[in-house]
Amino acid sequence: MTSIGILGGTFDPIHLGHTLPAKAVADYLSLTKILLIPANIPPHKATPNVSAKQRAEMVHLACSTEPLLTCDERELKRDGNSYTVDTLKELAESFPQQTLYFIIGLDSLLTFTRWHKYQEILSLCHLVVNTRPNYQLDNLDKATAALLNNHQIHSVNELKKRKSGGVLLLPDTLPSLHNHLHIDISSSEIRQQLANKQDCQQLLAPSVFTFINKNKLYR
């Protein structure tokens, strides 16, 4: 059975802190594909002079040299509120034979029990959580502690035995992951560097950097 990773984000812009960890996770879990799904942002909240179409184009460019990565625009084409559970329902219908692995950060795990229909999300996929070095899961609220108590899986082999419902915390000590998972880059920092005309070329795929300059984005 093939396995598909799912990574959502605003990707404003997409950078190596998105794509390198995604590839490391794919390697660790033996995923055949990772879908990068740009989130819809209401126009009044969007970055000025950067459209949803341009964000998606940058994701397509970043994926163009990475066989494992594919841009999926379904959330940009949906009207109204776009919930993760709706996206996962569509993906489960599109890929009925595949196991879905929804990749999130530790910050998202800590709020996951407040997501819309979070229990239904878990019925459709596994959660794969990027942790942080030396980060202790102390002082969890009761809902998150219960979530881990009921759903946490401690090995990839155990996770692979199930179609959905597992929560796997990725170890931050594995050599294959260690160099990639914790790249300390944020899109907001890159936007600030671009606005200040600072060099951030090394943080972006060459094609994305060229696209940003050609279209004078984040200036």
**Residue at 213: amino acid letter:** N
The span from the CA of 86 to the CA of 16, in Å, is: 27
Cα-based distances in Å from 60 to 16, 72, 157, 163, 197: 14, 9, 32, 29, 24
Topology given in CATH for the domain delimited by 3-214? Rossmann fold (3.40.50)
| 151-199: pLDDT as tens digits | 999 999 999 999 999 999 998 765 555 455 456 688 999 999 999 999 9
Are 94 and 2 in contact, with CB atoms under 8 Å apart? no
The span from the CA of 81 to the CA of 37, in Å, is: 15
Mean pLDDT of 28-33: 95
